[in-house]
């Protein structure tokens, strides 16, 4: 079979997370009339669902509005480690925010792990929840690991240095956190949504004076929580100036040995490992969304899988992306200083299981008029100069590059040069267009202007999508919106040549 055909077939057949493959969630109705509610939550991902769940425990009813289906965003594509070990975090947190706030961050996330355990017991949920230590390892320099062990201990986490792991290669050292956990997120969600009211296929198009506008009706709410992964309202809040998204790729492989923990390389170019039933989920290939011009992320993961586990068989593959704030701490709390009843939960930097629970703890307390002990460190209007400056400059640099410099560059590829199975930016009648050529000659042309704030989109050869390097919106090759913050699809034309 032609290599490009093989690649496409593989992509279409198996591009589904192990959670989606194994668990179907019930369908929910779509909003078709105006309603009034105490709390409206926009987004039925882990953050929105847990917030509704903790509000319910406090006796406060809410409705959740979901643009697509329950947990169909990043939550169904996570690797679902429930841990306060957010890569190497605590040494940096102490330097950037001071020991007291670093301790708050640690305790908030440790509490979140315990809350998952409580919910699993309370609802008697069978979701493959299991206690598991978490490790960040290095195959290079142990200095960073030793510093992290010391910092984690100072923050009150049960941590230790070790070289003893079940990984299929030697490590120079690892920081091990005790008392962490893993689960199947969709099996968990299937149970906890039972008492909640969710409207699916109900996209929030805007908010005016505590009224959410959707196509099917208006929702008037005392408090509103924006849990849409990337906040969809640009002003106030201005999250687009202080957050970007990063993608990663995952494979579930079978015919593998059992692991005794959840593992992550401290280096961005390394791999993460956890087991699920008799499989291992291997993750990696991280890049800023919109910056995967060469592709080959799945091939690299497959290569790693066959090197480390030569007998393994691929079960499925998938990818996801998450939001990264400029100071590497999530934004949880008031959407802006000017909006006293509008809240946000975002910026989980690929640690959204505990961060969603922390969001639910903080937001349910705030909405019910209680002070939460951890809210200060996640306060969205904070500005810590040391922690934020280089991130802010980096965001500005990317925006200038994609909004101005790349737009001035004349494409050096013509339509005839684009090979079947490939995509590229070309010039057509004096305008830049994005082209994807199918193997049978069908040609798909889209505008390369992102509908969010107008940055130039880039081709992602691994996922046949047009991705925005500024804030991470994504569109398929027919221009249909896949990921926010954009709210609209891009212009599209199809023809045969």
Among 257, 248, 152, 195, residue whose Cα is nearest residue 64: 195
Rank residues 31 and 468 by Cβ distance to ligand FES and give the closer one.
468
- For residue 283, give both structure tokens: 């993750």
What is the signed CA dihedral for 356, 360, 366, 372, rounded to 10 degrees? -80
Q: Do the Cβ atoms of 353 and 80 come closer than 8 Å?
A: yes
Taking CB under 6 A as the binding criterion, the range among 117-125, 183-191, 360-368, 466-474 that sits at the site for ligand FES is: 466-474
- 434 scored as a contact of ligand FES (CB under 6 A): no
Kindly state the helix (H) or strand (E) to which residue 432 belongs, with its residue range.
Answer: strand 431-437
Which of 227, 279, 455, 470 is close enough to bind ligand FAD by CB under 6 A?
Answer: 227
Name, in order, each residue with C-beta under 8 angstroms of 49's C-beta and a sequence gap of 6 or more.
64, 70, 71, 189, 192, 193, 196
- 204 scored as a contact of ligand FAD (CB under 6 A): yes
- 432 scored as a contact of ligand FES (CB under 6 A): no
**Residue where the block lists tokens 């949504």:** 193
Residue 171 contact partner, candidates ligand FAD, ligand FES, none, CB within 5 to 8 A by sort of partner = none
Rank residues 72 and 489 by Cβ distance to ligand FAD and give the closer one.
72
Per-residue burial over 11-20, b = 16 or more CB atoms within 10 Å of its CB, e = otherwise? eeebebbbbb
Which of 250, 470, 475, 479 is close enough to bind ligand FES by CB under 6 A?
Answer: 470
**Residue where the block lists tokens 């962490």:** 180
**What is the greatest pairwise CA distance in the chain?**
65
- 73 scored as a contact of ligand FAD (CB under 6 A): yes
Angstrom distance (rounded) from CA 124 to CA 401: 51
Taking CB under 6 A as the binding criterion, the range among 24-32, 112-120, 386-394, 448-456 that sits at the site for ligand FES is: 448-456
Phi, psi of 321 (to 5 degrees): -140, 160
- For residue 222, give both structure tokens: 């005392």
Residue 453 contact partner, candidates ligand FES, ligand FAD, none, CB within 5 to 8 A by sort of partner = ligand FES
Taking CB under 6 A as the binding criterion, the range among 352-360, 376-384, 415-423, 449-457 that sits at the site for ligand FES is: 449-457
> Cα dist. 479→19, 93, 386, 466 in Å?
27, 40, 40, 8
Number of residues that bind ligand FES (CB under 6 A): 13
Site string for ligand FES, 185-224 (x = CB under 6 A): ----------------------------------------
Residue 354 contact partner, candidates ligand FES, ligand FAD, none, CB within 5 to 8 A by sort of partner = ligand FAD
Which of 203, 256, 282, 445 is close enough to bind ligand FAD by CB under 6 A?
Answer: 203
- For residue 246, give both structure tokens: 């990063």
> DSSP characters for 136-168?
EEESS-SHHHHHHHHHHHHTT--EEEE----SS
Residue 351 contact partner, candidates ligand FAD, ligand FES, none, CB within 5 to 8 A by sort of partner = ligand FAD
Residue 471 contact partner, candidates ligand FES, ligand FAD, none, CB within 5 to 8 A by sort of partner = ligand FES
- 68 scored as a contact of ligand FAD (CB under 6 A): yes
How much is the CA Rg of the chain, to the nearest whole Å? 22
Site string for ligand FAD, 282-321 (x = CB under 6 A): -x------------------------------------xx
- 243 scored as a contact of ligand FES (CB under 6 A): no
Which of 356, 388, 447, 451 is close enough to bind ligand FAD by CB under 6 A?
Answer: 356
Which residues on adjacent β-strands are paired with residue 332? 345
Neighbours of 186 (CB within 10 A): 23
- 490 scored as a contact of ligand FES (CB under 6 A): no
Binding site for ligand FAD (CB under 6 A): 42-48, 65-68, 72-75, 78-81, 203-204, 227-229, 232, 248, 250, 283, 320-322, 348, 350-354, 356, 484
Give the binding site for ligand FES (CB under 6 A): 240, 450, 452-455, 468, 470-473, 485-486
């Amino acid at each position: 079979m032609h290599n490009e055909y093989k690649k496409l077939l593989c992509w279409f057949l198996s591009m589904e997370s192990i959670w989606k493959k194994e668990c179907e969630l019930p369908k929910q109705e779509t909003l078709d009339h105006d309603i009034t509610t105490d709390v409206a939550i926009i987004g039925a991902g882990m953050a929105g669902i847990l917030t509704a769940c903790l509000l319910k425990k406090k006796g406060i009813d809410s409705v959740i509005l979901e643009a697509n289906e329950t947990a169909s965003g990043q939550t169904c594509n996570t690797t679902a480690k429930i841990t306060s070990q957010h890569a190497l975090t605590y040494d940096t947190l102490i330097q950037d925010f001071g020991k007291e706030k670093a301790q708050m961050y640690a305790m908030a996330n440790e509490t979140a792990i315990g809350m998952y355990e409580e919910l699993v017991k309370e609802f008697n949920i069978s979701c493959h929840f299991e206690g598991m230590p978490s490790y960040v390892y290095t195959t290079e320099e142990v200095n960073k690991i030793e510093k992290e062990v010391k910092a984690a201990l100072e923050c009150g986490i049960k941590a230790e240095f070790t070289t003893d792991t079940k990984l299929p290669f030697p490590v120079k050292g690892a920081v091990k956190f005790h008392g962490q956990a893993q689960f199947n997120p969709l099996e968990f969600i299937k149970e906890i949504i039972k008492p909640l009211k969710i409207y699916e296929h109900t996209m929030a198009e805007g908010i005016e004076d505590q009224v959410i506008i959707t196509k099917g009706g208006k929702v008037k709410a005392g408090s509103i929580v924006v849990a849409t992964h990337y906040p969809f309202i640009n002003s106030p809040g201005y999250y687009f100036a202080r957050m970007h998204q990063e993608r990663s790729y995952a494979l579930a492989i079978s015919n593998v040995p059992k692991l005794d923990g959840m593992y992550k390389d401290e280096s961005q170019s390394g791999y993460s490992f956890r087991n699920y039933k008799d499989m291992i989920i291997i993750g990696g290939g991280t890049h800023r969304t919109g910056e995967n011009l060469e592709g080959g992320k799945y091939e690299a993961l497959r290569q790693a899988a066959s090197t480390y586990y030569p007998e393994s068989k691929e079960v499925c593959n998938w990818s996801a992306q998450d939001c990264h704030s400029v100071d590497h701490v999530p934004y949880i709390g008031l959407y802006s200083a000017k909006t006293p009843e509008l809240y946000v939960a975002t910026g989980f930097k690929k640690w959204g299981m505990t961060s969603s629970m922390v969001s639910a703890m903080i937001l349910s307390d705030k909405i019910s008029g209680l002070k939460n002990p951890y809210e200060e460190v996640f306060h969205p209007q904070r500005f810590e100069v040391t922690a934020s400056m280089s991130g802010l400059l980096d965001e500005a640099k990317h925006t200038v590059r994609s909004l101005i410099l790349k737009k001035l560059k004349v494409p050096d590829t013509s339509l005839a040069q684009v090979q079947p199975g490939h995509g590229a930016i070309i010039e057509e009648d004096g305008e830049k267009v994005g082209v994807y050529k199918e193997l049978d000659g069908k040609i798909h042309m889209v505008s390369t202007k992102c509908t969010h704030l107008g940055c130039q989109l880039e081709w992602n050869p691994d996922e046949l999508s047009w991705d925005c390097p500024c804030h991470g919106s994504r569109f398929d090759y027919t221009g249909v919106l896949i990921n926010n913050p954009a709210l609209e699809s891009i212009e599209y034309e199809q023809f045969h040549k």
